């Protein structure tokens, strides 16, 4: 072969190689500047893209602000720092330990070959009790979703006191609103998606938001927030939903979100604990000082706030009157959610005392619906009451109300994959590895040795989620038929090994008892408000 032919062949190879590289979206000009991603396995990932200014110094406890543009091309190959939280959450989730207040970054995984493909988009919002969580959890890697034809985005948001501190001074700054900075971060992330996702081959008109636990609660809150209107076309909530009335006292069972006035009192007490005379002094404190004052783990001092600006104060009435962001929804819970939170034996008398102390005049009815004559029954019922109040009742209520008042279709599931670690049912968060098809990740969301059956149902669940994002309906060729939840048909999809099929709501007796309790709580609040 002559040198001329060798040079020609080499040049042709270069052209082919460069053509292959150009056949993927590897760079994008977004709000702020140019970003460059990393191509692997047919997907390009962009990590650590800023979507708002760092909420530090005077921007602490303010709504997210526009970011400062950068020059040149930003290499988007590393996750941004996690938002401030107990460092043990990183260990729990198997994520990097880097954290700080400068944390408002998002990530994109895209399979697009060009910017004009208009692929469906899925935006993931992590859980962690609104005090922990991060986008860098290995289980949340978006590659498998992207390989099935969607653009996957994950968005960070502020946590704990940094994300949910309310205070009278902050409410004056925020035009009668404070305490929902973490939710505002999510809304800012969705606005970024709307403005920029087409650059990655995504369709801004086909955005599905999805999340688990606090993330599932958050997407439910976004479905209720007037500030999120028009930012998404579908909702998937895993173990979420938000329909309880405001939490006014610590003795009320089954409620979490406070009204603004109560949240402001909590905020004033927290500033006193910090030794700060006002918000200006508190903004001058080091972030580590504030985090230390919060304490470890799942402390529940700070939660999204019913402020009637970001979050309407009566979500139940909102849905009854049809005043919400009406889209198709796919929502559900796990069969034994409470097992993660109730880990020791609960004696029969303990369970009864817990119910009587938190559920007032409806305690007898709730006790009758939850067997507790033995310690074994009481322990399982303690798990079940946690599951039902935190996740199952809000999910069932959401499905029921939207099927009555909305236009968007409703699909409901119960995830019930059992194994040696969860013999009585699927624990809280157990579905995440199946949804993302990522089993090898460390931490509580990972599964060390998935079986062929695990892999098969994971593919099934992932296909349901992807179909929903693509078509607003989980059904598709080769999948077990998933009926919609309607005013007259209350079937849910039972996701289990060896088979998945529709069934009646499994815990209806407990849910109906809680429905009476929550109705009484709403009426009690109305009477107090009237007086």
Q: Is the backbone peptide bond immediately before 498 cis, with ω within 30 degrees of 0?
A: yes
- Residue 78 forms part of a structural domain: yes
State residue 529's pLDDT score. 80
Q: Taking 90 as the threshold, does the pLDDT of residue 209 lie above it?
A: yes
Q: Is the pLDDT of residue 283 over 70?
A: yes
Residue 3 has pLDDT above 70, yes or no: no
Say yes or no to pLDDT of 1 above 60: no
pLDDT number for residue 293 = 95
CB atoms under 10 Å from CB of 473, counted, come to 16
pLDDT of residue 138: 93
Annotated catalytic residue within 101, 337, 431, 437: 337
Query: Is 357 domain-assigned?
Result: no
Q: Quick one: which of 232, 40, 48 has its CA closest to 136?
A: 48
pLDDT at 443: 61
The pLDDT, as a whole number, for residue 298 is 74
pLDDT the model gives residue 258: 94
Answer whether residue 518 is part of any domain: no
Number of neighbours of residue 447 by Cβ within 10 angstroms: 20
Task: Tell whether the model's pLDDT for residue 144 goes beyond 60.
Answer: yes
pLDDT, residue 20, reads: 41
pLDDT at 316 exceeding the cut of 60: yes
Q: Is residue 526 part of a domain?
A: no
Q: What is the pLDDT of residue 249?
A: 85
Instruction: Mark whether 489 is an active-site residue.
Output: no
Nearest to residue 105, comparing CAs of 128, 126, 127?
Answer: 126
User: Using 50, 70 and 90 to split pLDDT, how confident is the model at 418?
Assistant: very high
Position 173 in a domain: yes
Residue 36 placed within a domain: no
When divided into structural domains, the chain yields a total of 1
Q: In this predicted model, what pLDDT tens digit does every residue of 45-100 receive, in sequence order? A: 999 999 999 999 999 999 999 999 999 999 999 999 999 999 999 998 999 999 99
The percent of residues above 70 in pLDDT, for the chain, comes to 94
Q: Quote the pLDDT of residue 447.
A: 73
Among 137, 135, 69, 54, CA closest to 101: 54
Q: What are phi and psi of 210, to 5 degrees?
A: -150, 150
Task: For residue 88, give both structure tokens.
Answer: 């043990």
**Looking at 45, 154, 178, 213, which residue is catalytic?**
213
Tokens at residue 480, please?
Answer: 């077990």
Residue-wise pLDDT for 435-467, tens only, equals 999 997 666 666 778 899 999 999 999 999 999
Is the pLDDT assigned to residue 16 strictly greater than 60? no
Task: Please determine, for residue 2, whether its predicted confidence score (pLDDT) is greater than 50.
Answer: no
Is 337 catalytic? The answer is yes
490, two tokens: 């209350």
Q: Are 74 and 34 in contact (CB under 8 A)?
A: yes
> Residue 442's pLDDT is what?
61
30 lies in some domain: no
CATH of the domain at 77: 3.40.50.1820
Annotation marks residue 71 as catalytic: no
User: Is residue 461, in this structure, part of any structural domain at all?
Assistant: no
Arithmetic mean of pLDDT, 342-360: 95
Strands 501-504 and 234-238, by their bridges, are: unpaired
- Please tell me the predicted confidence (pLDDT) of residue 441: 64
pLDDT classification of 156: cutoffs 50, 70, 90? very high
Sorted by sequence, the CB contacts under 8 Å of residue 2 that are 6+ apart come out as: none
pTM score, two decimals?
Answer: 0.94
Domain that holds residue 143: 43-242+259-302
Which residue is catalytic, options 428, 437, 462, 500?
A: 428
């Amino acid at each position: 072969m002559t040198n001329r032919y060798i040079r020609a062949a080499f040049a042709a190879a270069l052209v082919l190689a460069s053509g292959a590289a150009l056949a993927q979206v590897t760079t994008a000009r977004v709000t702020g500047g140019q970003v460059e991603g990393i191509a692997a396995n047919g997907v390009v990932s962009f990590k650590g893209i800023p979507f708002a200014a760092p909420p530090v110094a005077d921007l602490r406890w303010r709504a997210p602000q526009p970011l400062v543009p950068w020059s040149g091309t930003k290499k988007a190959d590393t996750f941004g720092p996690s938002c401030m939280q107990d460092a043990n959450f990183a260990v729990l989730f198997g994520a990097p330990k880097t954290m700080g207040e400068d944390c408002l970054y998002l990530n994109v995984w895209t399979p697009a070959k060009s910017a004009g493909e208009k692929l469906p988009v899925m935006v993931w919002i992590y859980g962690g009790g609104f005090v922990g969580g991060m986008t860098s959890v290995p289980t949340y890697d978006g590659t498998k979703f992207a390989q099935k034809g969607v653009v996957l985005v994950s968005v960070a948001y502020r946590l704990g006191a940094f994300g949910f501190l309310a205070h009278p001074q902050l409410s004056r700054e925020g035009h009668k609103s404070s305490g929902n900075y973490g939710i505002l971060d999510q809304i800012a992330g969705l606005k970024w998606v709307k403005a920029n996702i087409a650059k990655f081959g995504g369709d801004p008109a086909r955005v599905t938001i999805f999340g688990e636990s606090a993330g599932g609660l958050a997407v439910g809150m976004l479905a209720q927030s007037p500030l999120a209107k028009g930012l998404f076309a579908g909702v998937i909530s895993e173990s979420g939903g938000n329909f309880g009335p405001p939490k006014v006292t610590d003795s009320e069972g089954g409620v979490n979100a406070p009204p603004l006035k109560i949240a402001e009192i909590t905020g004033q007490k927290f500033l006193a604990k910090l030794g700060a005379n006002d918000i200006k002094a508190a903004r001058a404190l080091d972030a580590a000082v504030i985090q230390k004052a919060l304490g470890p783990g799942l402390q529940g001092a700070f939660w999204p706030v019913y402020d009637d600006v970001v979050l309407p104060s009566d979500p139940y009435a909102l849905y009854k009157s049809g005043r919400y962001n009406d889209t198709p929804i796919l929502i559900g819970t796990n069969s034994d959610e409470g097992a993660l939170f109730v880990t020791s034996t609960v004696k029969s008398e303990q369970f009864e005392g817990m119910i009587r102390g938190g559920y007032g005049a409806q305690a007898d009815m709730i006790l009758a619906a939850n067997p507790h004559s033995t310690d074994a029954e009481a322990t399982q019922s303690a798990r079940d009451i946690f599951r039902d109040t935190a996740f199952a009742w809000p999910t069932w209520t959401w499905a029921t109300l939207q099927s009555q008042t909305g236009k968007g279709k409703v699909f409901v599931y119960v995830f019930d994959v059992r194994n040696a670690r969860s013999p009585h049912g699927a624990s809280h968060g157990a579905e995440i590895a199946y949804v993302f098809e990522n089993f090898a990740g460390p931490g509580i969301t990972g599964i060390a040795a998935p079986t062929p059956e695990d892999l098969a149902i994971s593919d099934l669940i992932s296909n349901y989620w992807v179909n929903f994002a693509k078509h607003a309906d989980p059904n598709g060729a080769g999948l077990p038929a998933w009926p919609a939840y309607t005013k007259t048909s209350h079937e849910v999809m039972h996701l289990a090994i060896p088979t998945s099929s529709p069934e009646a709501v499994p815990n209806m007796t407990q849910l109906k008892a809680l429905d009476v309790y929550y109705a009484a709580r709403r009426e009690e609040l109305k009477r107090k408000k009237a007086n």
